[in-house]
Amino acid sequence: MPNLPPHSRGNHLLDCLPEPEWQRWQGLLEAVDMPLGQVLYESGRTLAHVYFPSTAIVSLLYVMENGASAEIAVVGREGIVGISLFMGGGSTPSRAVVQSAGSGYRLRASAMKEEFDRAGPVMHLFLRYTQALITQMAQTAVCNRHHSLDQQLCRWLLLSLDRLSGSELVMTQELIANMLGVRREGVTESALKLQAAGLIRYARGHISVLDRAGLEARSCECYAVVRKEYDRLLPDRLAL
């Protein structure tokens, strides 16, 4: 796993586990590949595992009855996929799909519940992460309702960049459109604007970010709100 801090476990929540908890977890975690498009869980299904992405990014999507979908949050090396399991729900109306291929770890549902029910450091850490994730979901809803597609695309690119080790995303405009719940033509127009402004370069499904500061300046306040909340709630034992 490239560009990770020394002694990093590849996932920020795992990095933040106290040593006694980590020693207990080591034998329970299973390293897994997470290929593009893999569905980690479907809407309404009982979760068998929780996932800790390391180099992959997972999109949480809400799927309508007619098949239309929109992204409500992204999870990468900062978090965990499957919070409904330890929050008591067991299932969720959303779908989790790998949007950027990579790797990570998974933990059986029974082991996750047992660890959370110890009511120690694991529970407190994961509750803080859940609050940060809820903030991202709420801000995404506000952003999609009140801000332009250009601003939404900037927010989405920045959130994805935070979860990658480099500055390039492998992502088609069609996939981005599905994530944002908009027409592909709208994404094309917005991406061309960002490219003309010298902020990104887009070619054959590869998006290279050339000017991150410019993206942040062009984005709405939603990205900064989400980033600030993650920084506030999660320990800074290892920088992302």
Q: What residues are paired with 209 via a beta bridge?
A: 200
CATH 1.10.10.10 domain range(s) in the chain: 148-219
**Residue that the structure tokens 């933990």 belong to:** 107
Q: How do strand 168-170 and strand 206-209 relate by DSSP bridges?
A: antiparallel
Pick the CATH number of 148-219 from 3.30.428.10, 1.10.10.10, 1.10.1060.10, 3.40.50.261: 1.10.10.10
Q: How do strand 206-209 and strand 30-34 relate by DSSP bridges?
A: unpaired
Whether the full predicted model's pTM is greater than 0.85, yes or no, is yes
Half-sphere exposure of 152 (CA within 13 A, CB side): 25
Cβ burial 3-38 (10 Å sphere, 16+ → b, else e): ebeeebbbbbbbbbbeeebeeebeeebeebebeeeb
Fold (topology level) of 12-122: Jelly Rolls (2.60.120)
pLDDT in tens, the chain (240 residues): 334 344 578 999 999 999 999 999 999 999 999 998 899 999 888 899 999 999 999 999 988 888 777 889 999 999 999 999 998 877 788 899 999 999 999 999 999 999 999 989 999 999 999 999 999 999 999 998 899 989 999 999 999 999 987 788 877 777 787 777 778 788 888 888 999 999 999 887 788 999 999 999 999 999 999 999 999 999 764 333
CA-to-CA dists, residue 147 to 94, 150, 208, 223, 231, angstroms: 23, 8, 23, 12, 24
